[in-house]
Structure 1
Amino acid sequence: MRCVSWLLFGTSILVLGLAVQGAPGQCPNLCHCHGDLQHVICDSVGLKKIPRVSEVTRLLNLQRNSLGSIPTGSFTDSRGLISLHMQQCQLREIGSQAFKGLKKLIYLYLSNNQIGSLKPGAFDDLTELTYLYLDGNQISDLTKGVFSPMINLFILQLDDNRLRELRPGTFTGAKDLRWLHMSGNELTTLQPGSLDEVENLAIFHLERNRLSTYPIAAMSKLRVVEELKLGKNPMKTIPDIAFQSFGRYMEKLHLDNMGLEKFSDGAFTGVTAIKTLNLDNNKLKFLPKSLNLSSIAITNLTLTNNPWGCTCQLAPLRRWMESSRNRPDAVCASPPQQKGKQVKDSTALSGCKVKSKKNKKGRPNSQQ
């Protein structure tokens, strides 16, 4: 991850009310400038237009001004910008070539506006952009290739928009994207091929969407996901080999508050690195055979508010609890005589035998 430690910077000019537009080299009217105009701070000063700042400016903070739009050419004098802050500026759309000339820009903050669309070419020239924040807007569609100029994009924040689907080509060009946040949208499907260009995602957040089926065709293209959040999607089942393509890397998996009823037996095939698994507030009775708790180093397992069936099918969980410091709260819902008891205390599980395994000569090993 690229770290650029510019403190706050400044430069140049602006039109405000009856004020006369200044010349490059001046601090814009009502703004505060620091560091020989490398930091220009115009937070909450009532601006109606984007001020012109010169090439020496590295950071421009325009937060909480009623700007409404970004006219083409707004930043033609600002070619040295590294960080641009435009949160809560009542922006409605990002037009073509809105950021023309900002070839050094690394941080772009557009959170909490009213942006409904990103026009083709909206991000032209942003070849160095690494962090893009578009959360808290009203974006319902992503044009094919809209992120293609961003060959260095590392983090993309799209939480709390109105996206309904992902289509192939959405992330063309953004091959270095590692963190993708899409929680709180209206996603019902991730089309096959929609994640092909971002196979190196490490953090993928999809909670609070409308996914009713696990998008295995799209997800199977991912290779190194370390953290996956799917909570609060209305999925009833997780299919076989759901996480296999990145199972060697996945350390955190959140499947809480989904109404999840079951896992296919092979759902966790290939999952070997998981440390955190959140299954709270579902309708699960059993865990799948492929979740081999005894062979993974899981340290944070949460199971509350599920109707666990305390029969021998749940015995591997009980044995793991007995050998682990992590003894999550899990209450039996059945059979009737075990209802209300903690899984770790259920007498119905204490006498379950481990299935014998055959050794290489075909002879059964002694039971444990």
Structure 2
Amino acid sequence: MASYFRGTLWMIFILSMLPLLTCDMSCNSSCLCNSNGVVKCDGYIITDIPKELPRHTYTLLLNDTNMNIINEQSLSDRELLLRFSLTHSHLHTIHPLAFHVAPQLKSVKLSFNDLSTLPARVFSPLTALEEIYLDGNKLETLAPDMFEGLEGLLVLDLTRNKLTNPASDIFDGLTNLTILNLGRNYIKKLSPTTFHSLTKLRLLRIYNNELEELEEGIFDTLVNLEELNLHQNQIKSLPTQVFWSLENLKNLTLSSNQLQALPQKTFYNMPKLSKLTIYKNPLLSLPDELMGHMPDITEFYLFSTNLVTVPGNVFANMSGLLLLNLHLNDKLKELPLDLFCCLPNLQKLSLRNNNIELLQPKIFSSLTTLRILLLNDNKLKNLPEDIFENLTGIVAIDLRNNNLMTLPGDIFLSNTHLKDLTLSENPWDCTCGIRDIARWIRYNEQVVLDRDNVECHSPVYQLLRRVGSLSDEDFNYCNAKTFKTSFATQTNLPEPTQTLHVTSTSPPVASTTFDPTTLAAVLHTESTTQPDETHPTSLPFHDILVLEHGPEYVHHSHHKGWVYVWFLPSNTALIGVFMFGYILLLATGFLLILAAIFGMYRLSVSMDKLKTECAQTEE
């Protein structure tokens, strides 16, 4: 009986509350309403704020509508509304009293509309306002008292407008503002007092404008600023101590400006800086004293400049640096020996696309934590044997597109963690000097990612052959050290047109070491005449025959205990003439064959015609 009574009471309560719940949960057909008080409305049929919305709507988001005007009563009867957003709707007019009916609003977002002007003090009734987003409009000017009375404002976004010269006191009174975004406008000049009241500002973005200079003292009161974006302007010079008051700054971007020089001690008194960019400036030089103590910096970008070199101590105060991009400086030819002395934590170093021809031995010896090293697209002709000696943790090295002809065979000996090595687009010289590195490539094919494109560029007979395909047998001629012979004078050398005869004889008493040029003269033979075993100028060799320098080796053959060796002359022009003659001979032969075939065809046709005529005559 008691349970039945309780069930009846619950049924009466639910039925009595049903009209209220139905009224409160009403939602316009163009909107989506959820139980948390968020309402989203989309569609071109919306011309004003819908009236059929839940009473407990706290956030109203209108997007892509046909609402061009916020009139005097658009926001009426919305006592609980805290966040209002009208975006991508071609809004062009706001009534001066539009926000008087909703003084409780904390956030107003009017992004990507067609607003070109705003009524003076239009936001002033919103004393609780914390955020204003006006980005993506067509605002050219702002009334000096536009933000009067908004002491509680935290975020102001004016990005992507057409602002040129904001009034010097436009932000006065915004003492609690933490984020100010003025990026992507047409601002040419800012007064030194523009930001003087923004003592709590943490983020200031003035990027992508037309600023040509920064006034002295413009940032002096921004003691809490953590990020300052000044990139993509036209700044040509900096006041000496313009950043000195920013002791809490963590991120500074000065890239893509017109700076040709920087003052002494420009980046002093910023111990918390973690990211600095000054790339894409036509910098001609850097002062010896540029960087102050920056133990927390992890990223530094210095590329696309006109620098020829950099001071040896430029990174000395950056012990926490993890990423250093010093690339795309097409005039940077040399690096000081101690440039990377004080970067014990560096993990990635990019020196690609510079004009570096030479690297000092052990220039990277202090970078014991380095994992990625990019040296591609430079003018490096050779590398010291110990250049990578201390890089025990290195994982990737890029040496593509340099002028390397060979490398020491044990240059990567200590790089036990190396997994990604690229060596292509270098003019590798596949003579004796490349033997050791060729062997290393052969045994470490899985490390050389572009091994199929690491090709010989010289000598001619090795052209386009893969360096990794060279075997030890290809370098057998490199092993001879001394040629022992019993001949007395150089007059006993065979004539250049004779075939070289090599026999196995007993070791002579005397031994003579040959100059490579003399040896080349001896071995420059092209005749195919039969050997004369009694010729007085025959030259005996012992051990292994080696040509370190001289003409290119073509072929050798054995016949009756003799070795016949042929060489091509080193004169590339002469080789070209031979090749042209050979091709011309082939082409002539081919034409003659075609002419013979055509002649046979014509003869066959004539014979058939003659037979036909004879047959007709007989009939």
Superposition TM-score tier, normalisation by shorter sequence: 0.7 to 0.9
Partner of 1:297: 296
Give TM-score scaled by structure 1 length. 0.78
Partner of 1:308: 307
Partner of 1:340: 355
Letter in 1 for 2:154: F
**Partner SS state of residue 197, structure 2:** helix
In the alignment, is the contact (CA less than 8 A) between 1:55 and 1:77 conserved in 2?
no
Provide the rounded CA distance (Å) in 2 between the counterparts of 1:180 and 1:264: 27
- Shift in Å at residue 296 of structure 1? 3.5
**Partner SS state of residue 192, structure 1:** coil
Alignment of 1:189-338 (within 5 A): 189-246=189-246, 248-292=247-291, 295-310=294-309, 314-317=311-314, 325-330=322-327, 331=329, 333=331
Partner of 1:65: 65
Partner of 1:126: 126
* 1:272-305 deviation line (CA, Å, top 9, x unaligned): 2211001111112333455335654321001111
Provide the rounded CA distance (Å) in 1 between the counterparts of 2:47 and 2:360: 67
Identify the range of structure 1 (162-171 vs 287-296) with the bigger mean alpha-carbon deviation: 287-296
Letter in 1 for 2:312: A
Structure 1's consecutive aligned runs of 4 or more residues displaced over 4 angstroms after TM superposition are: 23-26, 318-325, 334-339
**Partner SS state of residue 69, structure 2:** coil
- Shift in Å at residue 182 of structure 1? 0.8
Provide the rounded CA distance (Å) in 2 between the counterparts of 1:249 and 1:153: 22
Provide the rounded CA distance (Å) in 2 between the counterparts of 1:262 and 1:87: 43
Q: RMSD over aligned Cα, in angstroms?
A: 3.0
**Partner SS state of residue 316, structure 1:** coil
**Partner SS state of residue 60, structure 1:** strand
Provide the rounded CA distance (Å) in 2 between the counterparts of 1:125 and 1:150: 9
In the alignment, is the contact (CA less than 8 A) between 2:299 and 2:324 conserved in 1?
no
Partner of 1:113: 113
In the alignment, is the contact (CA less than 8 A) between 2:115 and 2:139 conserved in 1?
yes
Provide the rounded CA distance (Å) in 2 between the counterparts of 1:346 and 1:118: 62
**Partner SS state of residue 86, structure 1:** strand
Provide the rounded CA distance (Å) in 1 between the counterparts of 2:201 and 2:321: 31
Provide the rounded CA distance (Å) in 1 between the counterparts of 2:182 and 2:135: 8
Partner of 2:79: 79
In the alignment, is the contact (CA less than 8 A) between 1:114 and 1:137 conserved in 2?
yes
Q: Are residues 90 and 308 of structure 1, via their aligned partners in 2, closer, same or farther at CA, if it must alter by over 3 Å?
A: same
**Partner SS state of residue 317, structure 1:** coil
- Shift in Å at residue 66 of structure 1? 1.2
Letter in 1 for 2:233: N
Q: Which has the larger radius of gyration?
A: 2
Give TM-score scaled by structure 2 length. 0.48
In the alignment, is the contact (CA less than 8 A) between 1:187 and 1:211 conserved in 2?
yes
Q: Are residues 79 and 216 of structure 1, via their aligned partners in 2, closer, same or farther at CA, if it must alter by over 3 Å?
A: farther
Letter in 1 for 2:356: K
Instruction: Structure 1: state its 5+ residue gaps.
Output: 1-22, 351-368
Instruction: Structure 2: state its 5+ residue gaps.
Output: 1-22, 337-353, 365-619
- Shift in Å at residue 342 of structure 1? 8.3
In the alignment, is the contact (CA less than 8 A) between 2:71 and 2:94 conserved in 1?
no
Structure with the larger RCO, 1 or 2 (CA within 8 Å, 6+ apart): 1
- Shift in Å at residue 25 of structure 1? 7.5
Identify the range of structure 1 (267-276 vs 139-148) with the bigger mean alpha-carbon deviation: 267-276
- Percent sequence identity over aligned pairs: 23
- Shift in Å at residue 261 of structure 1? 1.1
In the alignment, is the contact (CA less than 8 A) between 1:310 and 1:332 conserved in 2?
no
